[in-house]
A and B are shown apart, each in its own frame.
Chain A
């Protein structure tokens, strides 16, 4: 009942704030009107053409009483300028005064412009920032006459709030299942603490992760099955500390593309979904930056032009939550027991160089570090006793648990417009990873990875309705790993030098339009995995074709086909099917000669997607997708069942690849794009995802069991609204079916381990109670001439007071009692200064 009430409230606000605008799909427009190609050579996501030119100005009415109060200055507005040059909507970006804001808004709606022109030929609707300046004419001061001044967007130097200009342009979407999100929307979503990357978890098709973890469960597949990219190449680590905050500063991002399935051949080595972060180019309209202090960390950014052809951006963050914990423990006296020393830092430096219209270079350096130390002090060890357990050979710091993960990515992106019809994108990045782990004398590891990643895409527009893309991508990494750990056989030493991983992928796809409204994109791809020993298939597999079609090379072909057909301007149907494969994950571990099974094959999948899009109004759109995904050759660790049932000891492996998965569902996304005050969406997923392996087959009647994150219903409301006086508030409401759990059908006393073992029934055949959560965010901003100051408050799980959503189940020692662990309320306060 409560959920119905929330649904009603949200729908009410959704309808109230929905306002009609002219166009539909939003793209990003660079202010300085440069052509920037993405790796497909696509221009649809960047603007190339002319900005709007004002041809008619209307003077705002000014209340003279305000002059007496000394109120004058700038009102900064976002104007949505339609294809015919009219101002369709106005939103206040920087408020001056309530009366003056209103006066400027009324006047701005009467302005006339020459519309923005895409490629200098196509009129498009754009949002531009406009400064309406109420200033005092000193000479006429005594007469109390007010003069005015205006500035067009590209002349506004105090545009500190939204660098990117959002254009509502009917750009051609070529993917069947892509959700494109701009950073200006995402960083204000409640419950994400300003971390835009986490927004993916609020989209349809993505299961709710446990607590604040950063897992991305896409359409019933593991996080390992999804690919995370940064500007065309793989991102080594998405989150600090497994989900605390994204490693790449959201402020340095332009957009995030999320492909939950059925994506084209541009991306390989993934069977679940693809999340691509796209970094943004530095600003060239002056020097800007920010300083921010939040509950987790401190950060800063600075950017600006260097001459006419260069621009530079730099940002860095360092956490301080560890210091806060340390201080709290000291005050409470708990530091006598345990010392916690966690911290992370990261930095991004990006330099853009555009020597001419045909070449654009981006040089980037991105590093991240996570460090953790847990030190047991005297009180934790019972006074006089010392912690010296574990192996003598592993005893470097036996009272300390340490972990460090550092990586650095340095590279270059080169956009080259060879001819008007031929464009090339190249990304090349070196990657260095250092990881260490030590656990009180029980385990110790050191890993160093040096490698590189690359991606090249050549786009050739053969005819107006025919385009072809060729691509090459891959990586090569040399791993030097030492791992010492205590197992049941005592001390196991494992050292491996010069372990080489590499993948090479080649692809080609066509974009064909038999008629204007119909786009067909067939593509083929081949991925070669040097670290695997399996015989790859000679044909793209929509299911396991069997050994006869597997020969020799450790590579897999893929075939993918997608199509979109516009029934009219408002309605569109779409569909996709394709085969996908990836190196078995977790990469390296599962094919290790000692700890894994070197003979594992690629994990394979087939995706089938059907969808429908409805542009309900200019700002409101509906996307409905139905999907069926199949996965096979899923690696799984050997279990008790495998060991007990293996006919001979030679049949016992550390890992098997006999698990299969299936998932199907319907996803609905009702989205209201940002207008002057409101944006939000409703995302709903109805899904079923299951797994099957020999053990499940033996004990489940159907032979299938629910996937651990199978959530039948997943409903999310999300909304943000700008209030007067520079306040902005937002809410996020989530409801999901409870996660599956495995019933306990009996117990056994294990006297050697001093414990009670549970005997489980059919895996994941029961469920926890539903999950419900409400997050809230409020932000207040103070604007100054060239800067602003914002204070925000983000509170997660405000609904804890009325409903405690189950997160984990904790049993007592005998499994006779259980306790549901709920996520507590997590508040976050921050202050930010932009200039």
Chain B
């Protein structure tokens, strides 16, 4: 009963606070402003690896990590600073508990592990740490987030009714999923009308884990991801999640209602080549508008998937160019297949010779899916402004 009153109160409080804050606060340091003299992490990407016949690893672009999978974790650090393979400490907590209020906390101390780390070299205005490691085989069995006694659990999620097996324990459910992924005969015994329940069951029997990176001089970095069986199950039954792809970046000049294409920059080429933009060009008003596009996922059939965009600016460009976003951009629908977003060039603040980096990150979310494993991509683009 009082819960409602709290919601009312919190709503008003939030609005009032937003109104006050929006009018008065101007900090020097912002999350989307990268001080190029200080290196810091801003994004990551998980990739499931498949071994090929030659024994080497193949990158799949699948953001799924199932028990026993070997995965590639890429962490992008923007800015200048020393990071070497030798001074990175990896640790993980494979057992993250979540409650219904969204509280997440590790069960037990993080355990160090030693992944295979590739050589770290400057890239995209920063450095990328690439680490390969294996997800524990028993991560789901040992997860406290999945109760051993399933009474009430399946009922809560309205899943159990469609599964023609008596799933009483966590082991029952996980064995069922293992059999389903590996045994075709087993799969054929399941009535077709219940197959649709498999995706949901695999969602429920999933868990979250956290990877920590400790590098001298940099606060600890935490990355949270999901372990679930989707990557092992047949695509016909479940929907795997892939990392979104930023395929190319185009700059258009002109009125943002009437584009006049004069600049285009392909991300498939050399990402470290400066995009040259003339600040005196332009016909409409004081500002010129450029359009960034596109981001899309290779699995557009996943219709409920949403994309969010974050742009980071190096400090020498911060405030001089900016994404023209709505105040609630972070919860916008980002249609599969492409998206355009205007970039405002503040000509009054720029001067000839200004140059720096912008990093465009896109990540996906899927509300309504339990423990959705987030897919991500980031690209860095150097920009130089000329006459």
Contacts and interface: CB of A to CB of B under 8 A. Distances in A.
A391 B334 contact: no
Interface stretch (A174-182, A634-642, A793-801): A634-642
Contact of A812 (B1, B3, B8, B28): B28
A747 B220 CA distance: 8
B99 A747 contact: no
B158 to A, nearest CB: 7
Contacts of B13: 213, 242
Contacts of B324: 382
Interface in B53-72: none
A379 interface: yes
A755 B324 CA distance: 21
A642 B156 CA distance: 24
B101 to A, nearest CB: 7
A20 interface: no
B2 A586 contact: yes
Given A381-B326, A433-B1, A488 B104 contact: yes
Nearest to A383: B326
A372 interface: yes
A746 interface: yes
Interface in B152-183: 156-158
B224 A752 contact: yes
Interface string A738-763: 00000000111111111111000000
A435 to B, nearest CB: 4
A27 B204 CA distance: 65
A748 B222 contact: yes
A184 to B, nearest CB: 30
Given A211-B16, A637-B101, A644-B105, A754 B310 contact: yes
A405 B1 contact: no
Contacts of A816: 29
A244 B11 CA distance: 13
B101 A441 contact: no
B204 to A, nearest CB: 8
Contact of B332 (A243, A387, A393, A814): A387
A137 interface: no
B9 interface: yes
B30 A393 contact: no
A244 B105 CA distance: 37
A403 B367 contact: no
Contacts of B91: none
A613 to B, nearest CB: 36
B4 A405 contact: yes
A487 B102 contact: yes
A401 B106 CA distance: 33
Interface in B1-60: 1-9, 11-13, 15-17, 20-21, 24-25, 27-31, 40-44
Given A370-B8, A405-B5, A594-B100, A382 B107 contact: no
A755 B330 CA distance: 13
A210 to B, nearest CB: 8
A331 interface: no
A339 to B, nearest CB: 13
Interface in A618-664: 637-644, 646, 649, 652, 654
A819 B28 CA distance: 11
B107 to A, nearest CB: 7
B228 to A, nearest CB: 12
Contacts of B156: 492-493, 594
Interface in B303-359: 304, 306, 310, 324-329, 331-334, 339-341
A135 to B, nearest CB: 54
B224 A389 contact: no
Contact of A435 (B4, B17, B333): B4
A237 to B, nearest CB: 6
Given A389-B332, A594-B100, A437 B367 contact: no
Interface size class of A (residues with CB under 8 A): 35 or more
Contacts of B218: 749
A757 B365 CA distance: 21
Contacts of A595: 100-101
Contacts of B327: 337, 380
A31 to B, nearest CB: 38
Given A376-B328, A487-B101, A752-B223, A587 B2 contact: yes
B20 A821 contact: yes
Interface size class of B (residues with CB under 8 A): 35 or more
B103 interface: yes
Nearest to A401: B11
Contacts of B371: 488-490
B279 to A, nearest CB: 24
A812 B30 CA distance: 7
Contacts of B3: 586, 588-589
B75 interface: yes
A489 B370 contact: yes
B203 interface: yes
Contacts of B98: 487-489
B219 A747 contact: yes
A379 B40 contact: no
A401 B370 CA distance: 24
Contact of B11 (A403, A749, A819): A403
A808 B18 CA distance: 12
Interface in A24-43: none
Contacts of A755: 31
A810 interface: yes
Contact of B220 (A386, A477, A501, A749): A749
A641 B40 CA distance: 28
B147 interface: yes
Nearest to A446: B4
Residue picked from A383, A392, A652, most chain B C-beta under 10 Å: A383
Given A389-B306, A391-B368, A441-B367, A819 B12 contact: no
Contacts of A594: 100, 156
A749 B40 contact: yes
A393 B8 contact: no
A372 B368 contact: no
Nearest to B224: A752
Interface string A48-63: 0000000000000000
A449 interface: yes
Nearest to A477: B1
B318 to A, nearest CB: 13
A389 B333 contact: yes
Interface in A238-268: 241-244
Contacts of B28: 812, 817
A639 B103 contact: yes
Contact of B107 (A383, A644, A747): A644
Contact of A751 (B1, B75, B107, B365): B75
Given A403-B7, A749-B219, A749-B222, 20 more contacts: A241-B8, A242-B5, A243-B9, A372-B12, A389-B332, A437-B7, A445-B4, A447-B1, A486-B367, A486-B368, A491-B368, A586-B5, A640-B105, A652-B144, A751-B41, A751-B75, A810-B25, A812-B27, A817-B28, A821-B20
Interface of B: 1-9, 11-13, 15-17, 20-21, 24-25, 27-31, 40-44, 75, 97-108, 144, 147, 156-158, 203-204, 208, 218-225, 304, 306, 310, 324-329, 331-334, 339-341, 365, 367-372, 374
24 contacts: A213-B9, A241-B8, A372-B12, A376-B328, A380-B326, A388-B333, A389-B365, A390-B331, A392-B368, A442-B367, A489-B157, A490-B367, A490-B370, A491-B367, A493-B158, A585-B2, A589-B2, A640-B103, A640-B105, A643-B99, A649-B107, A751-B43, A812-B27, A812-B30
